[in-house]
Amino acid sequence: MNQSIGAFIESGKGVLGVEFGSTRIKAVLIGEDHTVLAAGGFDWENQLRDGVWTYDLADVWTGLQSAYAALRGDVEARYGVKLKKLAAMGVSAMMHGYLAFDAAGRQLAPFRTWRNSMTGQAAEELTRLYSFNIPQRWTIAHLYQAILNGEEHVARIDQVTTLAGYVHWKLTGRRVVGVGEGAGILPIDPERNDYDQAMVEKFEALIAPRGLSWRLRGVLPAVLGAGEDAGCLTPEGALLLDPTGETAPGAPLCPPEGDAGTGMTATNSVAARTGNVSAGTSVFAMVVLERPLSRVYPEIDMVTTPTGKPVAMVHCNNCTSDINAWAGMLGGFLAAMGRPAGAGEIYPALFQAAMRGAKDCGGVVNCCYVSGETITDVAEGRPMLVRTPDAELSFENFARSLVLGAVTTLAAGMRILAQEQVRIDVLLGHGGFFKTPGTAQKLLAAALNAPVSVMENAGEGGAWGMALLAAYRVRRTQGETLEAYLSERVFGGVKCVTEQPDAQDAQGFAAYLRRFDAILPAERAAVASLEA
């Protein structure tokens, strides 16, 4: 078996997917049946510099090269061959944010990631202008805020893009993004699968008095749908991917997508009435709509699938970062006790203890905000654990408050979709939050008061979803839709486990949510009085 896989890889038939997640860059190689043949990764972390959540672009290339080198090493160890040629590849990354370059390709400002909440004025003005919710993290909001701030670099802009768009550009020379990624830059016209032209014109009229020399469409990446030609790996791009020079150029690339698009793809949630919850550093739910919502909601982002179908997105900046911090502290405590334990022991113990806690956490409330949260109108993060004097501070209640606190803001946003009577046939969970089987999944079902399913391959994640989009680029037949390709060729025999909401858990979460709402003024006060 390994020999046949080795020959498959050696002949250049493997498909590569890469995703730049918020804490890990991952590369996977998939085979003819779309299963993962090999993988490699690189850990990285955003930094708060001068009040801006950012990554150094040098780390983008260090991370990509390290992840790809690790994947090549995995191939050689498993199959005894060297990976030198690819059938196709695709790049994904955290959506939104702001990367600006001049005509010589020089970076003009620090990379401003999705995690920043510094564009309140711009987002509010654009939302009003468009009668369409423009979140603070969207690229157009960052661009307009830079203009409002009078930032010197704005006059020299030649290109504004996202992280996925940037990496794709450097690998191929093409300034393009997938339609799902483009929907986090500027709203998409669903009839044309392109930026909404009326909104483009309104933006240009808005900034006309500034006398800037560039036009909006000229600086934004072009939009492409799933399966379209997005260029090939250039010789320069091949060396950026693999500095050893052993990987051949020429592999076709699919349009780069954001983590929302890869999440939808990796969970087969691209058809109407399907949805998924991606839970890691951030948490967001995506629901593919049958019809538009009745009005604009600041808590709901309207984006698209990789094929341009309208999607309601509830995005929260905070999920597992605070859990990770507490897990690290607990690991330090165990080490001090002379009983050291690794993450593989600490996280399961934490999540399993959460299942034994009081349904409402016994009066213990955790606000997991490491960064700001637009949905609850919190400008910056100040993680807080709050309890009443008579609360029962057991380890089980503490653990449950961490897990529920990680999804409380998401639940508040999802209830808007319930009020809109949005129909969801299946809601699939994926991401690190679901690694401990049957725990977070069960509590999320209670928080959302809806069944939550997890596929047996949910751990493959966004890099695998990106590899599927790259495979679709080169393997689809004439007229084969992405929905059909995924349902029939990829997910036909995949099993999943579904947790129904438990009535007592749901009641307990409702009580917890009321306490969470009650501590939000204290969270805002902490932001105002306690400097980061």
Residue 234 counted as domain residue:
no
Residue 384 counted as domain residue:
yes
Residue 242 counted as domain residue:
no
Residue 379 counted as domain residue:
yes
Q: Which two structure tokens, joined as six digits, stand for 396?
A: 């089980």
Q: Longest C-alpha distance within the chain, in Å? A: 67
At residue 458 the predicted structure's pLDDT band, cuts being 50, 70 and 90, is low
Query: pLDDT: is 339 or 3 the higher one?
Result: 339
Q: Which domain holds residue 293?
A: 267-317+418-499
Same domain, 285 and 431: yes
Sheet holding 24-30, edge to edge: 36-43, 24-30, 15-20, 88-93, 257-258
Total domains in the fold of the chain: 2
Rounded to the nearest integer, the mean pLDDT of the chain is 94
Same domain, 290 and 340: no
C-alpha–C-alpha distance, residues 132 and 112, integer Å = 22
C-alpha–C-alpha distance, residues 441 and 460, integer Å = 17
Mean pLDDT on 109-132: 94
Same domain, 351 and 305: no
- Chain-centre distance of CA 337, in angstroms? 37
- Residues in the chain, overall count: 532
pLDDT at 392: 95
Same domain, 447 and 485: yes
Same domain, 329 and 408: yes
Residue 190 counted as domain residue:
no
Same domain, 326 and 393: yes
* Confidence check: pLDDT of 302 > 70: yes
DSSP H or E run through 145:
helix 139-148
Burial 292-313 (b: 16+ CB within 10 A, else e): ebeeebbbbbbbbbbbbbbbbb
Same domain, 439 and 386: no
Same domain, 494 and 464: yes
* Confidence check: pLDDT of 112 > 80: yes
CATH number for position 433: 3.30.420.40
- pTM of the predicted model, to two decimals? 0.82
pLDDT at 460: 63
Residue 10 counted as domain residue:
no
Residue 336 counted as domain residue:
yes
Mean pLDDT on 178-192: 94
Same domain, 395 and 441: no
* Confidence check: pLDDT of 459 > 90: no
Which residues lie closer than 8 Å to 515 by C-beta, 6 or more apart? 360, 363, 365
* Confidence check: pLDDT of 475 > 70: yes
Same domain, 510 and 494: no
Mean pLDDT on 183-201: 95
pLDDT at 457: 62
Mean pLDDT on 136-159: 97
Same domain, 336 and 408: yes
pLDDT at 413: 87
pLDDT at 405: 95
DSSP H or E run through 257:
strand 257-258
Query: pLDDT: is 418 or 148 the higher one?
Result: 148
Same domain, 405 and 506: yes
- Do the Cβ atoms of 498 and 451 come closer than 8 Å? yes
Residue 15 counted as domain residue:
no
Query: pLDDT: is 279 or 157 the higher one?
Result: 157
* Confidence check: pLDDT of 104 > 90: yes
3-state secondary structure of 61: helix
How confident is the model over 399-440, as pLDDT tens digits? Answer: 999 999 999 999 988 989 999 999 988 789 887 788 887 888
Distances (CA, A) of 293 to 75, 77, 97, 383: 47, 51, 25, 33
* Confidence check: pLDDT of 24 > 90: yes
Q: Which two structure tokens, joined as six digits, stand for 377?
A: 């109108």
- Do the Cβ atoms of 135 and 141 come closer than 8 Å? yes
How confident is the model over 268-287, as pLDDT tens digits? Answer: 989 899 899 988 888 989 99
